[in-house]
Amino acid sequence: MICEKPNVAKKIANALGKPKKLSYKGVPYYELERGGKKIIVASAVGHLFTLKESNKKNKKFGEYPVFDINWASASIIKGKEYVKKYIDTLKKLSSEAHEFYVATDWDIEGELIGYHALYYCCGKKDAKRMRFSSLTKEEIIKAYENPDKIDYGLIDAGDSRHKLDWYYGINVSRALMQSIRAVNRWQTMSTGRVQGPALSFLVDRELEIKKFVPKPYWVIGALLKENITAIHEKDKFWDEKEAKEIYNKIKEEKEGIIEKIKKTKKKIKPNPPFDLGTLQREAHRIFKFSPKKTQEIGQKLYEKGLCLHPDTPILTPRGALRIKELEHEGSVLCLNSDLKIVESKYKLLKRVINENLIKIILEDGTSLIATKEHPILTYSNDKLIFIPCEKLREGDNILKIKSENGLKNTLNRNILNKNNKNILNKTQQIDEMENIKEEELNHDLKRIVNGQVDLLRIVKMEYIPYNGEVYDLTVEAYHNFIANNVIVHNCSYPRTSSQKLPEDKEYIKKILSKITAINDYKKYAEVILKSNREPIQGKKKDPAHPAIHFVDVPNEPLPDEEKKLYDLIVRRTLSLFWEDAEREYIIMLLNIKGEIFKLSGSRTVNEGWHEIYYFTKFDEKELPNLRKNDKVSIEKITFDRKETKPPKRYTMSSIIKELETRELGTKATRADIVEKLVKRGYVIEDNSLQVTDLGIAVIETLKKYCPEIIDEKMTRELEKKLDRLQKGTMKKDNLLKNAEKKLRAILEEVKKKEKDIGRELVEKIDTTNKTLKTIGKCKCGGDLKIIKSKGNKRFIGCSNYPECSITYPLPQRGRIKILNEICEVCGSPLIAINKQRLCINLECPSKASEQPKEEIEKSERTCPKCGGNLSLKKGIYGMFYGCENYPKCKYTENLNKKTNSQDSKKIVGKCPKCEGDLIVRSGRFGEFIGCSNYPKCRYTEKIKSNK
């Protein structure tokens, strides 16, 4: 049984039986029995195969156009070397199988991933197909017992889509980069079949804004009591003379008469269920989540993770860093199947918990603090196995990165036995130990002895109360990483365009029953279950997945962002079953000396589904209770000159909707397309998406020399052909040959004008780089810019260097956002790092400590890490203590930020986490108790009545 990811394989195996976890080359798989059959559940790790250029050795660097491509192991891609082991595992396991099931995601990519694994790894062309849209036990069993056939039309469409994306993406990107090289410059550029048209309409909007000329108009209003304004029925006057004549006619009037009242009641049905696009747009509107972020949080809800204490040291290529200090993405060290240290990419996950953590202490004093579910690599019953912390016991042996005496320590264990007899005693020499490695030891023990690990016993375990953030990493390559030298397991969302819930009424009842376990939703779910109401369904269908909806309740507290998205999904789902909302719209016509003014109001008569899904907001504009012919007092008549505004820039939310409307990209790729435009410097993401000079130059160049590349009609036409291919009404070879012929002709024309294209692009690259790196003005008149030193360290320097040598330090981690604002306190430029607004001036009074500087300097403090003296230092985040032995010792300690002087007097106890003072603070929701060592310690509690 071929699954798409290791975590999904585990869930499917557990749903179908009581599996035994095994591994080959470090790749996990599962064996179980069901209905008298022995089943092996194995997995891919996403796409195991990628397209590559054939006969690359015989071609020049950057040569184009290239259409001779073939599928090859994705292990050729840097950072995806681990894929080979998954391929090898599937090949080995398939040799013993006589029946095959494909259990990958139910979409075009899932069909292709499954078929590639079946064909290239297992040597088979046909298999039974399991189709499921959620990972619940019931649905997995149903999919297994009612298998479908492989959809070869979907496979052809997926294969062709990848090849077309390669044709356009690689060839056109190479053409742009080769044009830049033709004028002796180097710049990474990219465009593609969908990326080009997407950038094109963003550029069209940007140029529309730049060319926009405001047009004046005039508005006449009548200000009534209670700050209500009636607007002249004409709304906008484009002729100032006409507007002034009417204004002069009525400007002294103090009374008007209600001429007409029209009331309209309207029922508003609930919004349809979420597909991926509408979820991304709502999450951005309500929580300001980017589309990519929503996708990532959704993935976490789909496959929950496990976590470590924020201060846990993690081994990285740059040394050991606390897990909370890691960037969102990067590289860490982990172990391969031979237990040798390798480098791999990771993504950082974070959540908030309030529960006991487990502290594991080893015989050499090493300790690790983790959630009770977090698996640690152990050696138990002659095998290597990941065991959750809560199931470990004192005396168990766990794997740690090898010390100098690692081999000796490992072999001097009583665990080394054969036929219940110790192989070695503690007095044997190291050379004797080496001799027995291959002869006497079992397979996993050989891996330990030959690997870069040691075995150490657990001497103590204790529970620690904890309330705060915990962290974990996803390391898709090897599924482990090194935490304080201990080997721990990493943690590993459906993409749908459907707006329809499943039709199975029993399934709907079941999930509604589950959600009654949460008090916030209980009363709504119980009413729905009793009433047997039918849900509102949307128009869009997706054969692979139903609409996004909740399927279960969390078995642990969710972190803030996941909780927000989960709550949004649950409330949207419940609201589908609720009664319509009812709104009343009122229009009153007011006659002022023959001129008609309009008063508009609206109110909610019945909340209906808004009671559950309160994220939808309506204007509540109550009007006075007036009747026809009533006289109304006028405070004054207003006369305002206004100007038309340019069209708005797209936001992260509206761009996804626009791509969907224009049928560009797929539900799974649209967020990535926008992220790529930002990453390449074509677009700057602020509150909206602003196209840079480089982005404009790329599109203007493509429009000038090869407009077909960015023609969205062509992209849509290709999508229609892919649909025909999927339905079997078009042949794959015809589609690809026609695309190659058309693209080859376009690129031959580009080759003739490479230098002209290159010169135009280079000019815009330089202006864009200046815009992206300039944060403000220096006192000397130069530009303050973000600069990288030879050692790749970033700092702020002046463009007038060496005449002006002013510099400002910058943190080496975190995304810097240029705000184009100045500090109100000292006038220096402001920047934002990880959403925190900061003044670049270290001497800015806003960074001052609460205590007098002299008092702080008198305070003698010792570094708890190395025993050195702690001295007062200044940084972009404010004053702090740093160790005198820096850079050998990098210990730092925060000073309290400036707070209300009354707060410091309200000391109510000691912090249970760090022994700091608990003080009364004020926040956006009122007073609360917090630790004086914030932000290092984030312990808080509510104020109780007896406090």
DSSP 20-84: EEEEETTEEEEEEEETTEEEEEEE--S-SEEEEETTGGGS-TT------EEEEEGGGSTT-TTHH
Query: Which residues face 879 on adjacent strands?
Result: 874
- Residue 141 or residue 555, greater confidence: 141
- Would you give the DSSP letter of residue 552? S
CATH 1.10.460.10 maps onto the chain at 162-212+670-675+693-766
pLDDT of residue 542: 64
Task: State yes or no: pLDDT of 106 exceeds 90.
Answer: no
DSSP string of 341-377, one letter each residue: EEEEEEEEEEEEEEEEEEEEEETTS-EEEE-TT-EEE
Peptide bond into 65 cis (omega under 30): yes
Give the E-state strand segments of 540-594 in sequence order: 581-592
Structure tokens at 1: 């049984």
pLDDT of residue 684: 86
Asked if residue 763 lies in contact with residue 697, where contact means CB atoms within 8 angstroms, the answer is yes
Asked if residue 436 lies in contact with residue 378, where contact means CB atoms within 8 angstroms, the answer is no
CA angle (461, 466, 469) in 5-degree steps: 120
Give the E-state strand segments of 389-440 in sequence order: 397-401, 417-418, 421-422
343 burial level (CB within 10 Å; 0-12, 13-18, 19+): middle
Average pLDDT over residues 182-210: 90
Distance CA 785, CA 789 (A): 12
Asked if residue 83 lies in contact with residue 48, where contact means CB atoms within 8 angstroms, the answer is yes
Task: State yes or no: pLDDT of 844 exceeds 60.
Answer: yes
Percent of the chain whose predicted confidence (pLDDT) is above 70: 88
Asked if residue 497 lies in contact with residue 277, where contact means CB atoms within 8 angstroms, the answer is yes
Average pLDDT over residues 597-624: 89
pLDDT one-digit tens code per residue, 461-493:
999 888 888 888 877 667 789 999 999 986 544
Task: State yes or no: pLDDT of 942 exceeds 90.
Answer: no
Distance CA 269, CA 259 (A): 33
Banded pLDDT at 302 (limits 50, 70, 90): low
Task: State yes or no: pLDDT of 702 exceeds 90.
Answer: no
pLDDT of residue 24: 94
pLDDT one-digit tens code per residue, 407-461:
344 444 444 433 333 333 333 443 444 444 444 456 678 788 888 898 899 999 9
Topology of domain 2-150 in CATH is Rossmann fold (3.40.50)
Structure tokens at 126: 């046909």
- Residue 219 or residue 768, greater confidence: 219
pLDDT of residue 664: 86
Task: State yes or no: pLDDT of 878 exceeds 90.
Answer: no
Task: State yes or no: pLDDT of 368 exceeds 90.
Answer: yes
What is the helix (H) or strand (E) element at residue 116, kind and residue range?
helix 108-116
Q: Kindly give the interhelix angle for 152-181 and 108-116, rounded to the nearest 10 degrees.
A: 90
Q: CB-based contacts of 916: which residues, under 8 Å, 6+ apart? A: 910, 931, 932, 933, 937
Distance CA 363, CA 518 (A): 43
pLDDT of residue 432: 44
Banded pLDDT at 121 (limits 50, 70, 90): very high
User: Among 271, 853, 914, which Cα is nearest to 536's?
Assistant: 271
Most confident of 325-329, 567-571, 681-685, 700-704: 567-571
User: Among 598, 600, 586, 585, which Cα is nearest to 259's?
Assistant: 598
- Residue 250 or residue 544, greater confidence: 250
Count CB neighbours of 831 within 10 A. Answer: 24
Banded pLDDT at 849 (limits 50, 70, 90): low
Distance CA 196, CA 194 (A): 5
> Biggest alpha carbon distance in the chain?
112
Average pLDDT over residues 363-368: 91
pLDDT of residue 473: 85
CATH 2.70.20.10 maps onto the chain at 216-267+584-643
pLDDT one-digit tens code per residue, 592-604:
999 999 999 999 9
Q: CB-based contacts of 781: which residues, under 8 Å, 6+ apart? A: 800
Residues designated catalytic: 493
Asked if residue 372 lies in contact with residue 356, where contact means CB atoms within 8 angstroms, the answer is yes
Banded pLDDT at 126 (limits 50, 70, 90): very high
Q: What is the pTM for the complete model shown?
A: 0.56
CA angle (524, 525, 528) in 5-degree steps: 90
Q: In this structure, which CATH number among 1.10.290.10, 3.40.50.970, 3.40.50.40, 3.30.70.270 belongs to the domain 276-298+495-575?
A: 1.10.290.10
Distance CA 449, CA 407 (A): 6
- Direct distance between the N- and C-terminal alpha carbons of the chain, in angstroms, rounded to an integer: 60
The CA–CA distances, whole Å, from 602 to 220, 265, 586, 588 equal 22, 10, 6, 11
CATH 3.40.50.140 maps onto the chain at 2-150
User: Among 937, 929, 840, which Cα is nearest to 893's?
Assistant: 937
For the chain, how many residues are written?
Answer: 947
pLDDT one-digit tens code per residue, 48-57:
999 999 877 7
Structure tokens at 500: 């329809």
Average pLDDT over residues 574-582: 94
User: Among 365, 391, 366, which Cα is nearest to 487's?
Assistant: 366
Task: State yes or no: pLDDT of 253 exceeds 50.
Answer: yes
Q: In this structure, which CATH number among 1.10.10.10, 3.10.450.50, 3.40.50.300, 1.10.460.10 belongs to the domain 162-212+670-675+693-766?
A: 1.10.460.10
Average pLDDT over residues 841-855: 71
Asked if residue 891 lies in contact with residue 882, where contact means CB atoms within 8 angstroms, the answer is yes
Ranking 224-238, 358-372, 896-910 by mean pLDDT, the lowest is 896-910
Structure tokens at 427: 């007095």
CATH 2.170.16.10 maps onto the chain at 306-489
DSSP string of 650-681, one letter each residue: P-HHHHHHHHHHTT-S-TTTHHHHHHHHHHTT
pLDDT of residue 642: 95
pLDDT one-digit tens code per residue, 7-23:
899 999 999 999 999 99
Give the E-state strand segments of 884-925 in sequence order: 892-894, 907-910, 917-923
Structure tokens at 462: 């204790």
pLDDT of residue 495: 58
DSSP string of 604-651, one letter each residue: EEE-GGGGT-TTS----B------TT-EEEEEEEEEEEEE--PPPPP-
- Residue 670 carries which side chain, given as an amino acid letter? R
Average pLDDT over residues 221-241: 92
Q: Which residue has the tokens 């693209």?
A: 743
Sign (positive or negative) of CA dihedral 651, 653, 658, 663: positive
Return the CATH superfamily for domain 216-267+584-643: Topoisomerase I, domain 3 (2.70.20.10)
Asked if residue 409 lies in contact with residue 454, where contact means CB atoms within 8 angstroms, the answer is yes
What is the helix (H) or strand (E) element at residue 109, kind and residue range?
helix 108-116
Query: Which residues face 489 on adjacent strands?
Result: 480
- Continuous H helices in 214-275: 240-250
Task: State yes or no: pLDDT of 789 exceeds 90.
Answer: no
- Chain centroid to Cα 245, Å, comes to 57
pLDDT of residue 744: 92
Ranking 345-354, 567-576, 619-628 by mean pLDDT, the lowest is 345-354
Residue 217 CA neighbour count, 13 Å, CB half: 12
pLDDT of residue 621: 86
pLDDT of residue 882: 86
User: Among 493, 489, 469, 13, which Cα is nearest to 275's?
Assistant: 493
Ranking 305-314, 428-437, 794-803 by mean pLDDT, the lowest is 428-437
Task: State yes or no: pLDDT of 507 exceeds 80.
Answer: no
Task: State yes or no: pLDDT of 737 exceeds 90.
Answer: yes
* CATH number listed for the domain at residues 306-489: 2.170.16.10
pLDDT one-digit tens code per residue, 258-289:
999 999 999 999 999 998 888 988 998 899 88
Across the chain, what does the average pLDDT equal?
Answer: 84
- Chain centroid to Cα 531, Å, comes to 38
Banded pLDDT at 850 (limits 50, 70, 90): low
The CA–CA distances, whole Å, from 366 to 369, 399, 411 equal 11, 12, 20
Sign (positive or negative) of CA dihedral 913, 916, 920, 926: negative
Pairing of strands 421-422, 329-335: unpaired
Asked if residue 929 lies in contact with residue 908, where contact means CB atoms within 8 angstroms, the answer is yes
Q: CB-based contacts of 568: which residues, under 8 Å, 6+ apart? A: 279, 282, 283, 286, 287, 615
Percent of the chain whose predicted confidence (pLDDT) is above 90: 39
What is the helix (H) or strand (E) element at residue 300, kind and residue range?
helix 291-302
Asked if residue 179 lies in contact with residue 755, where contact means CB atoms within 8 angstroms, the answer is yes
Average pLDDT over residues 708-732: 85
Distance CA 739, CA 162 (A): 13
In terms of phi and psi (left: phi > 0; alpha: psi -120 to 50; beta: otherwise), the region of 434 is alpha
